[in-house]
């Protein structure tokens, strides 16, 4: 089988590049983080336009500079950040859905908007799955992130088998500051002043942000002590004793001891994943309809 | 110890116990978790357990409402906890436990008193969290409770046995960490090449068995001995 697979060589692979899918839901019982694409919305959309399964493995990038060469024909789709793309050194005007011929060299240039890019490929990148997921994670997959000179496998397709459509990826959905969130399990422990502060303030994304969590610059005056360690998820918003807000993202551990004050919707998580250091956000609280 | 259910989103909620973590509470948690996993398997996307909560993610809003309707009449007895005891060798030597001396000094304990206080009790495994294969254990002697470090260490070595707050635990892999390192175990605590990557289950117990530095260096058995009381 393996000699039938196409090879995609990472001639240059910027730091922070990894293979991701929907994530590893069955791992929490062993303490294994969910992992998976930070911006599930873009990931899902790019797989959708390729007619892929919703869990096909994609390449996630957080920085420009990727150079990737494909040895056989394939269809790829890009979604997430808006970036400059060139194919065989010619800049593309619409880089959403690209037909690749054998030997083609694709290069990712500057990120114009957003901060995470997904390169999906028809059939998905072919990797071993662990607990149902091919998402890279330290001590779970080998390697645990991608680097220059590595080669990824994919299922080649006949050159003529183009999808025809010309969809165009739009990024306006992640440009507004509003991030939708539910009130978290420990929201009621906050004073009404703290609740109002969190509700009405503009926060800024801190440089202390990665796939584990996104910290916000502004502190919330806080006297709450640590609580017994309990479950957390991607999207759980924690408040530390020092008043720091940490939004847990895909690689966060499965439990935590800080008060869990909010929980971002999946759209809210995808939107936040596209924010850059210094971008402003505001939590838009939504009510849970109780039965 | 009947929990109540807190709805957090249309497809997400928590079973809440307003009690301190104990064996008894764990027995109730495992009973509810087992019941839910066997009766709502198709409706449930994910379940996660902590010391006083079980978080449930449902596939759709209707699933959560159906669960809630059933929960009203549900009064489960606690599950009997396992009698399995895993013997985990630990070398309590300053060479492997860089904070052993400072923790002992802060408590006015001799090293042998500290080692005795740490290796004497049986610790109950409540759940896994923080890192793959990291046990959350209950049972640390109150004398050994130690506030976490203000500045975490960037690389706590794999196998380190440490104390943080009212907890003790073992780092299954190298990781940043803010707990005080008092020793190291030569065992393997997480192996993703195994279909089940950990050897113990919530509800079972851990016993720390002191070993010498020479024993540590020559240890070649990756898994612990299993006793039943």
Q: A193 to each of A201, A238, A262, how far by Cα in Å?
A: 12, 17, 16
Interface of A with B in 21-60 (CB under 8 A): 25, 27-33
CA pair distance A59, A126, nearest whole angstrom: 11
CB distance A57 to A76 below 8 Å: no
Whether A6 has its CB under 8 Å from any CB of chain B: the answer is no
pLDDT of residue A291: 38
CB distance A229 to A257 below 8 Å: yes
Q: Which parts of chain B sit beneath pLDDT 70? A: none
CA pair distance B214, A94, nearest whole angstrom: 65
Complete domains list, chain A, with CATH: 6-172 (no CATH), 176-286 (2.40.100.10)
CB distance A68 to A121 below 8 Å: no
Q: What residues of chain B lie within 8 A of the CB of A288, using their CB? A: 7-10
User: Residue B46 in 3-state DSSP?
Assistant: strand
pLDDT in tens, B53-71: 999 999 999 999 999 999 9
Q: B154 to each of A256, B94, B178, B229, how far by Cα in Å?
A: 19, 19, 9, 39
CB distance B104 to B93 below 8 Å: no
Residue carrying the six token digits 């307003």 = B18
Q: What interface predicted TM-score (ipTM) does this complex get? A: 0.94
**Token digits for A220?**
């919330």
CB distance B133 to A31 below 8 Å: yes
Q: How far is CA A136 from the centre of its chain?
A: 12
Task: List, in sequence order, the alpha helices (H) in chain B.
Answer: 23-39, 61-71, 100-107, 111-119, 213-218
The maximal CA–CA distance of chain B, rounded, in angstroms, is 59
pLDDT of residue B118: 98
Query: Cβ-count burial of A132 within 10 angstroms (0-12 exposed, 13-18 middle, 19+ buried)?
Result: middle
What's B93's DSSP letter?
Answer: -
- Give A120's strand partners: A77
Q: Please judge whether B8 and A138 are an interchain contact, meaning their C-beta atoms are less than 8 angstroms apart.
A: no
Q: Please judge whether A140 and B192 are an interchain contact, meaning their C-beta atoms are less than 8 angstroms apart.
A: yes
| Average pLDDT of chain A, as a whole number | 94
pLDDT of residue A163: 66
How many CB pairs lie under 8 A apart between chains A and B?
Answer: 105
CA pair distance B52, B34, nearest whole angstrom: 16
**Token digits for B146?**
């130690």
CA pair distance B189, B158, nearest whole angstrom: 9
CA pair distance A269, B221, nearest whole angstrom: 43
Instruction: Report the alpha-carbon angle A99-A105-A111, nearest 5.
Output: 85
CB distance B111 to B119 below 8 Å: no
CA pair distance A28, A165, nearest whole angstrom: 39
CB atoms within 10 A of CB A149: 9
CB distance A17 to A81 below 8 Å: no
Of B10, B14, B132, the CB nearest to A140: B132
Of B14, B47, B65, the CB nearest to A291: B65
Q: Which parts of chain A sit beneath pLDDT 70? A: 1-3, 159-164, 289-291
Among candidate residues B165, B164, B203, B210, the one with its CA nearest the CA of residue B185: B210
Q: Please judge whether B53 and A185 are an interchain contact, meaning their C-beta atoms are less than 8 angstroms apart.
A: yes
CA pair distance A98, A76, nearest whole angstrom: 5
What's the number of CA atoms in the CB half-sphere (13 Å) around residue A88?
8
pLDDT in tens, A92-110: 999 999 999 999 999 999 9
**Token digits for B36?**
């839910």
CA pair distance B5, B98, nearest whole angstrom: 43
How many Å is the Cα radius of gyration of chain B? 19
CB atoms within 10 A of CB A172: 7
Whether B5 has its CB under 8 Å from any CB of chain A: the answer is no
Of B8, B53, B198, the CB nearest to A30: B198
Whether B131 has its CB under 8 Å from any CB of chain A: the answer is yes
Q: Please judge whether B132 and A231 are an interchain contact, meaning their C-beta atoms are less than 8 angstroms apart.
A: no
What's A119's DSSP letter?
Answer: E
């Amino acid at each position: 089988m393996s000699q039938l697979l196409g090879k995609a060589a990472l001639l240059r692979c910027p730091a922070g590049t990894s293979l991701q899918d929907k994530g590893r839901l069955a791992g929490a019982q062993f303490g294994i983080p969910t992992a998976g694409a930070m911006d599930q919305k873009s990931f899902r959309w790019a797989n959708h336009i390729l007619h892929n399964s919703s869990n096909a493995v994609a390449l996630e990038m957080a920085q420009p500079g990727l150079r990737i060469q494909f040895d056989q024909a394939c269809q790829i789709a890009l979604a997430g950040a808006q970036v400059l793309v060139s194919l065989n050194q010619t800049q593309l005007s619409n880089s959403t859905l690209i037909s690749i011929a054998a030997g083609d060299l694709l290069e990712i240039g500057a990120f114009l908007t957003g901060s995470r890019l997904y390169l999906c490929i028809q059939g998905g990148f072919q990797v071993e799955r662990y607990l149902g997921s091919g998402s890279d994670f330290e001590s779970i997959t080998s390697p645990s992130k991608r680097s220059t000179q590595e080669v990824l496998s994919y299922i080649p397709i006949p050159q003529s088998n183009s999808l025809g459509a010309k969809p165009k990826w739009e990024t306006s959905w992640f440009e507004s500051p509003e991030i939708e969130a539910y009130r978290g399990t420990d929201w009621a422990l906050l004073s009404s002043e703290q609740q109002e502060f969190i509700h009405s303030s503009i926060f800024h994304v801190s440089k202390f942000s990665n796939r584990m969590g996104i910290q916000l610059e502004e502190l919330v005056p806080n006297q709450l002590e640590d609580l017994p360690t309990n479950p957390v998820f991607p999207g759980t918003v924690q408040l530390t004793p020092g008043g720091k807000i940490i939004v847990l993202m895909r690689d966060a551990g499965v439990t935590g001891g800080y008060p869990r004050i909010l929980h971002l919707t999946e759209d809210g998580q995808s939107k936040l994943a596209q924010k850059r250091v210094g971008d402003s956000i505001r939590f838009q609280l939504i009510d849970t309809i109780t039965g | 110890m009947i929990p109540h259910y807190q709805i957090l989103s249309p497809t997400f909620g928590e079973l809440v116990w307003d009690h301190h973590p104990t064996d008894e509470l764990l027995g109730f948690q495992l009973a509810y978790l087992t019941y839910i996993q066997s009766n709502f398997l198709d409706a449930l996307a994910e379940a996660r357990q902590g010391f006083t909560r079980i978080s449930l993610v449902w596939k759709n809003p209707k699933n959560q409402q159906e669960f809630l309707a059933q929960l009203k009449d549900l009064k489960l007895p606690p599950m009997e906890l396992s009698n399995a005891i895993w013997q985990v060798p630990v070398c309590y030597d300053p060479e492997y436990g860089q904070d052993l001396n400072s923790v002992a000094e802060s408590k006015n304990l001799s090293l042998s008193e500290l080692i005795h206080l740490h290796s004497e009790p049986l610790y109950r495994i409540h759940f896994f969290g923080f890192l793959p294969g990291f046990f959350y254990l209950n049972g640390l002697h109150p004398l050994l409770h130690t506030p976490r470090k203000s500045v975490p260490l960037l690389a706590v070595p794999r196998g380190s046995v440490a104390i943080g707050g009212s907890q003790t635990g073992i780092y299954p892999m190298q990781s940043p960490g803010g707990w005080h390192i008092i020793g190291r175990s030569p065992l393997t605590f997480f192996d993703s090449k195994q279909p089940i990557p950990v050897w113990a289950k919530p509800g079972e117990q851990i016993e720390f068995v002191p070993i010498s530095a020479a024993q540590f260096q020559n240890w070649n058995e990756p898994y612990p001995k299993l006793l039943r009381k």
